[in-house]
């Protein structure tokens, strides 16, 4: 009795489901992500340190280290016409202050500018005698012509000791400037570095 010959049907693989493909891709991506190094705390700390160092080395603006502006404006020297001043401070080149007559300490040394008659003239008290002469204002600098004075003899007073140095200083002004904000002051810097400061009298 013959057994019927049965042919085995070849198995055909069924196509993969789209869902299976997408799942495999997702798993692969997740696997790759797991292999990436994490941003460690040590690297984060190093980054913070680098930022801090950069902030410390930031360049400063040139103006931040600039010295304060000089309040004694040379241009304001042009405003000295018809004003009156009193010597209130005198410092030598090293900053040492001289004793000057002021207030109850004696008759002050004065400096009066006038344009009466159309000519710039100066007069004042120099510590012992009165003096007079001419002055000029050019390019922001105050200068004086030859000065004449009375010939009184004064002995022993602080003003008398200052008279000749004062009159000589008026002939050797290196720089002058005026501070117009109250209290208004006139500053003269002499050739040898001495600084004479005057405060305005009256208005």
Q: What is the pLDDT of residues 130-166, one digit of tens each?
A: 999 999 998 888 999 999 999 888 877 778 899 999 9
Total domain count for the chain?
1
DSSP string, 159-184: HHHHHHHHHHHHT-EEEEEEE-SSSP
**Residue 66, pLDDT score:** 52
Comparing 58 with 108, the larger pLDDT belongs to: 108
The verdict on pTM exceeding 0.75 is no
Examine residue 192 and state whether it is found in any structural domain, yes or no. Answer: yes
CA-to-CA dists, residue 34 to 23, 41, 202, angstroms: 16, 18, 88
What is the pLDDT confidence band of residue 115, given thresholds at 50, 70 and 90? very high
Q: Is the dihedral of CA 69, 74, 75, 79 positive or negative?
A: positive
User: pLDDT tens digits for 17-30?
Assistant: 544 445 444 445 44
**Residue 101, pLDDT score:** 84
DSSP, collapsed to helix, strand or coil, labels residue 186 as: strand
Examine residue 99 and state whether it is found in any structural domain, yes or no. Answer: yes
**Residue 48, pLDDT score:** 58
Examine residue 18 and state whether it is found in any structural domain, yes or no. Answer: no
d(CA 27, CA 79): 89
Examine residue 80 and state whether it is found in any structural domain, yes or no. Answer: yes
Encode burial over 152-163: b for 16+ CB neighbours within 10 A, e otherwise: eeeeeeebbbbb
* Residues 87/197, Cβ–Cβ less than 8 Å: yes
Examine residue 17 and state whether it is found in any structural domain, yes or no. Answer: no
pLDDT beyond 80 at 186? yes
d(CA 145, CA 134): 5
Residue 196: which CATH number? Answer: 2.40.128.270
Examine residue 42 and state whether it is found in any structural domain, yes or no. Answer: no
What are the respective helix, strand and coil percentages of the chain, to the nearest 5?
A: 30, 25, 40
Kindly report the average pLDDT of the chain as a whole number.
Answer: 76
Find the domain containing 194 and state its range. Answer: 74-201
Examine residue 161 and state whether it is found in any structural domain, yes or no. Answer: yes
**Residue 65, pLDDT score:** 54
Examine residue 8 and state whether it is found in any structural domain, yes or no. Answer: no
d(CA 138, CA 108): 27
User: pLDDT tens digits for 54-100?
Assistant: 444 444 444 445 555 556 666 677 789 999 999 999 999 999 999 98
């Amino acid at each position: 009795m013959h057994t019927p010959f049965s042919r085995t049907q070849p198995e055909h693989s069924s196509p993969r489901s789209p869902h299976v493909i997408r799942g495999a891709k997702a798993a692969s991506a997740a696997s790759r992500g797991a292999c990436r190094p994490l941003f460690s705390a040590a690297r984060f700390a190093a980054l913070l340190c680098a930022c801090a160092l950069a902030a410390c080395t930031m360049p400063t603006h040139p103006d931040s280290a600039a010295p304060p502006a000089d309040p004694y404006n040379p241009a304001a020297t042009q405003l000295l016409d018809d004003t009156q001043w009193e010597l209130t401070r005198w410092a030598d080149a090293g900053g040492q202050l001289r004793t000057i007559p002021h207030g109850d300490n004696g008759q002050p040394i004065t400096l009066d500018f006038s344009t009466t008659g159309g000519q710039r003239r100066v007069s004042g008290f120099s510590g012992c005698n009165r003096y007079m002469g001419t002055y000029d204002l050019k390019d922001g600098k105050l200068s004086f012509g030859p000065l004449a004075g009375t010939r009184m003899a004064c002995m022993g007073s602080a003003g008398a000791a200052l008279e000749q140095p004062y009159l000589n200083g008026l002939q050797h002004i290196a720089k002058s400037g005026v501070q117009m904000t109250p209290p208004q002051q006139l500053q003269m810097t002499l050739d040898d570095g001495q600084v004479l400061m005057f405060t305005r009298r009256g208005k």
